[in-house]
Amino acid sequence: MNILNSKTPLITADKLTCIREDRILFEALSFEVYAGNIIQIEGQNGAGKTSLLRILSGLSSPYSGQVLHLGKSIQKNAELYHQNLTYIGHNTGVKAELTAQENLAYYLDVHNQNPDEAENILAKVNLTAFEDSLASHLSAGQHRRIALARLWQSNAKVWILDEPFTAIDKEGIKHLELLFLEHCNKGGCVILTSHQALTLPNLYLQKIPLTYRFY
């Protein structure tokens, strides 16, 4: 599905195979992700959801197959791809010795974005009054919010998110879903895993199920 009528997919998974020990997590998996698409990767624990996201992000290599960004290999064009990618995995990358605001400001500065916006962005993820709290004193859900706050300033077209709704309340999930739709309508795409039942319109949402097998 391509709701923005772009001819070139942002991401192409070309016959990806991933093997872990005695399991084939997925084999010859192919799909395309266009601007305007939200792709939900589904499957039971151990089915290879995180492995697939890491391959799509260029953090891991497939057993076989390749990933393309705008028709070009992400391995051969890694710098350009990473400029167009925001990846948030299970490890949020939040530094325990910094405050919530310092964590976000540091990230924004490193990515050539305005660190002065950190306080305002944290308010969007319901962390008002926690800006000056050390991350070591915050919960796992609050760490997740700090990481997800990066999305509000992200200029990357490709968002790859591993369980973004973990430890997020219903209001937070609603805000994220609206942000995803806004991002897609601006020419971006979202690839995510989630055990949550999403309320996104079918016009945007596609689901890719994974089922591993032994060999």
For each of the chain's 215 residues, which pLDDT tens digit applies?
Answer: 666 666 899 999 999 999 998 899 999 999 999 999 999 999 998 999 999 999 999 999 999 999 999 999 999 999 999 999 999 998 999 999 999 999 999 999 998 899 999 999 999 898 999 999 999 999 988 999 999 999 999 999 999 999 999 888 888 889 999 999 999 999 999 999 998 888 999 999 999 999 888 87
pLDDT confidence of residue 164: 94
Residue 191, beta-bridge partner list = 39, 160
List the chain domain ranges: 1-84+156-215, 93-155
pLDDT confidence of residue 3: 65
pLDDT confidence of residue 10: 97
| Nearest-angstrom CA–CA distance, 128 and 130 | 5
The architecture (CATH level 2) of 1-84+156-215 comes to: 3-Layer(aba) Sandwich (3.40)
pLDDT confidence of residue 1: 63
